[in-house]
Amino acid sequence: MKHHKLHMMLIAMLGGAALAGTAFAHGDDSKFKSMDTNGDGQISSSEHAASVTAKFTSMDTDKDGFVTTTEMDTAHAAMKGGGDMKKMSSSDKIAKMDTDGDGKMSSAEYDAGAQKMFTEMDADKSGGLSMAEMNAGHRKADKDKTKDKSAMSDHSEHSGHDAPPASTPPSDANGG
């Protein structure tokens, strides 16, 4: 389950941030075209990597090689349609990507997540993403975010209900 949530978080974060997911999900191809720098109708791995690097660089406002929750919040606030990005908090997104547990996201962690997402969205395994693959990936991410949010809500509402019953101390030799 942890792997599924990480995957969905990656798609949500990178899809919205690096790939302008809300634009793709609503049929706006201007972001796709801006990433497709050679105009061949596919976003290659190198085009995707360049976009991811540019996005990370823009979020890393203090240029220390890490993105903090404050920096991510600022980037989301500056994005058109950034309200959709707030379905998961920046701290939750970073926590999912933060493989070394230092509380911030490094460029390497961001790049690794982006590459994983790219590979998973490349449905036909052509090495490039078509507009259809990009849209399908973002629609799936939106569905999965809703499903995960619902599951998390259900879990929190029922926490403690499945706790084992309190144990009774063993009786002593006097029956007590």
Question: Domain for residue 167, yes or no?
Answer: no
Residue 161 lies in a domain: no
Q: How far apart are CA 4 and CA 10, in angstroms?
A: 10
Rounded distance between C-alpha atoms, residue 96 and residue 6, angstroms: 6
Phi/psi zone of residue 175: left (φ > 0), alpha (ψ -120 to 50 degrees), beta? Answer: left
Q: Is residue 52 part of a domain?
A: yes
Is the pTM higher than 0.85? no
CB 18 within 8 Å of CB 117: no
Contact, 38 vs 47, CB < 8 A? Answer: yes
Give me the residues paired with residue 128 across strands: 44
CA distances from 70 to 37, 76, 90, 108, 153 (A): 31, 10, 8, 19, 25
Number of domains forming the structure of the chain: 1
Residue 101 within any structural domain of the chain = yes
Q: DSSP letters along 91-124, please?
A: HHHHHHH-TT-SSSEEHHHHHHHHHHHHHHH-TT
Enumerate residues 6+ apart whose C-beta is below 8 A from 139: 25
In a domain, 172, yes or no: no
In a domain, 157, yes or no: no
Separation CA 90–CA 75 (nearest Å)? 10
Taking only the tens of pLDDT, the chain with its 176 residues reads 555 554 444 444 454 444 344 444 445 688 889 899 999 999 999 999 999 999 999 999 999 999 999 999 999 888 765 444 446 789 988 988 899 999 999 999 999 988 988 999 999 999 999 999 988 887 877 676 666 656 555 544 434 433 334 444 444 555 55
- Asked if residue 158 is part of any domain, the answer here is no
Structure tokens at 18: 């690096």
Residue 85 lies in a domain: yes
Domain that holds residue 72: 2-150
